[in-house]
Amino acid sequence: MRAALLIALVTLTACHGPLDVSNEASYQDMPFWLSDHQPQLVERTSTTADAAARVWGGSPDYLKGWTVRLVGGRIQTCGGHPLAGLGCAEPAILGGGAVRVFPEYAPCIEATILAHEVGHIIIGDDRHTDPRWCDEAFWTGVAETLAGEVAPVDAQCAATLRIPGWLFGFSRVCDHLFGGQVGARSISSRTFEL
């Protein structure tokens, strides 16, 4: 009986489909790229998530069973904890889970907090202890990787990603969570202490 239950559980967790994308955003200042006029939204979201998984040292296969939900307002809770943020990755009990992303004024999916949230899927680390969260060189590399992926289809998005510091995954985490009191490294024009 136990063996049958274990086999059923393993089968359920191994049978996840590819990354799914759900556009639930609906608000007055919704970016154009979220509208129905952007037929490549699902493909670009998947490409962005796959590239981010590789940058974080994982495989796009880690994203199987996950859904990216583009939402129309700041995320208020994540994992049962209060939050006022742009994104949240919440794993499901049997594998996979949901990533909620509020695109705010991002000019394209590649310039949202999605790469940050994929980091949580790949390495976990909900307390942001990994040094990459506050490493400007890491986030510059992430931005360059994503810009290279999107350049053939959206030169404007690629140019935005190449603006120094655009992907503020590192500074948002460092400034917001640690009140600017993180580490002895210079990020943009700020210095933080570990």
- The helix (H) or strand (E) run that includes residue 136 is helix 136-150
Q: Between these two residues, 23 and 182, which has the higher pLDDT value?
A: 23
Q: Token pair for residue 11? A: 């089968």
Q: How many domains does the chain have?
A: 1
Does some domain include residue 9? no
Does some domain include residue 6? no
Give the domain range for residue 42.
Answer: 16-192
| pLDDT number for residue 177 | 56
3-state secondary structure 19-61: CEEEECCCCCCCCHHHCCCCCCHHHHHHHHHHHHHHHCCCCHH
d(CA 115, CA 143): 9
Does some domain include residue 171? yes
- The helix (H) or strand (E) run that includes residue 96 is none
Does some domain include residue 8? no
Using alpha carbons, select from 113, 166, 104 the residue that is nearest to residue 141.
166
pLDDT tens for residues 91-109?
A: 988 889 999 998 887 889 9
pLDDT tens for residues 110-158?
A: 999 999 999 999 999 988 889 998 888 899 999 999 999 999 989 999 9
Does some domain include residue 187? yes
Under the banding of pLDDT at 50, 70 and 90, the label for residue 175 is low
**What are φ and ψ of residue 187, in 5° steps?**
-125, 120
Does some domain include residue 143? yes
- The helix (H) or strand (E) run that includes residue 82 is strand 81-85
| pLDDT number for residue 191 | 24
| pLDDT number for residue 25 | 65
pLDDT tens for residues 12-50?
A: 344 456 677 766 666 566 677 776 556 688 889 999 999
| pLDDT number for residue 83 | 80
| pLDDT number for residue 79 | 85
pLDDT at residue 76 greater than cutoff 70: yes
Q: Between these two residues, 93 and 172, which has the higher pLDDT value?
A: 93
